[in-house]
Structure 1
Amino acid sequence: MIDPAEQALAFTQEQPADADAIEALLDHAFGPARFVKSSERVREFAEFRPEMSFCAWDQGRLVGSVRMWKVHVGGTPAIFLGPLAVRAEGRKFGTGGELVARACAAARAAGYPVLLVGDEPYFGRFGFAAAPCKGVRMPGPVDQRRVLACGADVLAGPVTA
């Protein structure tokens, strides 16, 4: 369990050896329902970008993860953020926010806007908004109000590889 008085999480870029721990975390956080989401359709064809994906570790135990994927929205190259998962005991200490901030900084440094499906009240503090995404077409049903982007004035077109 994360002790707020001693919280000294280690944030690292995702490594191949992290895959099993990340899958276990995602199963714990989302269960099998994660496989039916439109975001999962994107991850099926997108190019995984481990150099922009991060893990949070507490004394050798994975407590959080964010993954990034290269896509195109219409003709515009972009990075698709997700999934973001944090164990319950780490949520109130800003672990998810730190993971998002690191991932978005890596995407910005590489010159990409970032796209995701999520809650604007949470992701808005990182500069995400629904307004630039009105013309984005996800591969499958999605609540268009939850399609968010940062680092782009307008994104339009289908999300593709």
Structure 2
Amino acid sequence: MIDIVEEGPAYVGAREALLDLCFGEARFAKTSERLREGRLPVFAFVALDDTGKLVGTVRLWSVADRNGFQSLLLGPLAVAPDCRGLKVGDRLMRHALNQAAVHGHGSVILVGDLPYYSRFGFSAGLLDKVMLPGPVEYHRFLGTEFETGSLSRLDGLMSGTGASDPTLAVARAEDSFFFSKAA
């Protein structure tokens, strides 16, 4: 049985290990990471198996356009390789999107594969006026909305908003330096 629970401090190490396993260190060089680094997520959930082992993670981050209109950025979503095919990712996605809607957020955006994310209501071509702080394959820039029109009012460069975490900022700054130096 899989339980979806709020991520707490006890899960940080296991979450980071899972993200390293699924995405490697290159995850710190992704454009979406520029919107997450140094900040705390609005929502963070983990999937635990019946032994209490962390087998999945998803987070949602507050972002805003140049006019201050907000959305949530989803990611990363990761599932342990030995749990793929068990619908862990589906359950994490549905839980995260449900919480976003219940708490009054108008939309969620992400960079991902449309064939996977369309089942959760995500579409391409809704964010033509929106830019991210780095390279992105715009056909993979997807959105879904809970409030009609919330995506169409987004315009310009997205930036991260919300609570910052000074200890996280230091760690991510070191990671970013590593990748910019190696590039």
CA drift of 1:17 comes to 1.6
- Alpha carbons of structure 1 residues 46 and 147: separation in structure 2 relative to 1, 3 Å: farther
Answer yes or no: is the 8 Å Cα contact 1:47–1:71 preserved in 2.
no
The answer on 1:36 being equivalent to 2:35 is no
The match for 1:70 is 62
Once residues 137 and 45 of structure 1 are traced to their aligned partners in structure 2, the CA distance between those partners, rounded to angstroms, is 20
Of residues 136, 139, 142 in structure 2, which corresponds to 1:142? 136
For residue 150 of structure 1, give the secondary structure of its aligned residue in structure 2.
Answer: strand
* Deviation string, structure 1 residues 72-109 (Cα, Å, up to 9, x no partner): 13421111100000011211011001101111111111
Backbone CA RMSD of aligned residues: 1.3
Q: What is the number of equivalent residue pairs in this alignment?
A: 152
TM-score (norm. length: structure 1): 0.89
Letter in 2 for 1:64: G
- The equivalences for 1:1-150 within 5 A come to 8-44=1-37, 46-49=39-42, 52-58=43-49, 59-74=51-66, 75-112=68-105, 113-150=107-144
**Larger strand proportion of the pair:** 1
The alignment's TM-score, normalised by the length of structure 2, stands at 0.79
> Structure 1 runs of 4+ off > 3 angstroms?
none
Counterpart of 1:125, as a letter, is R
Task: Between the two structures, name the one with larger relative contact order (CA 8 Å, sep ≥ 6).
Answer: 2
Show structure 2 runs of 5+ residues with no match. Answer: 161-183
Residue identity over aligned pairs, in percent, reads: 43
Q: Structure 1 unaligned runs (5+)?
A: 1-7
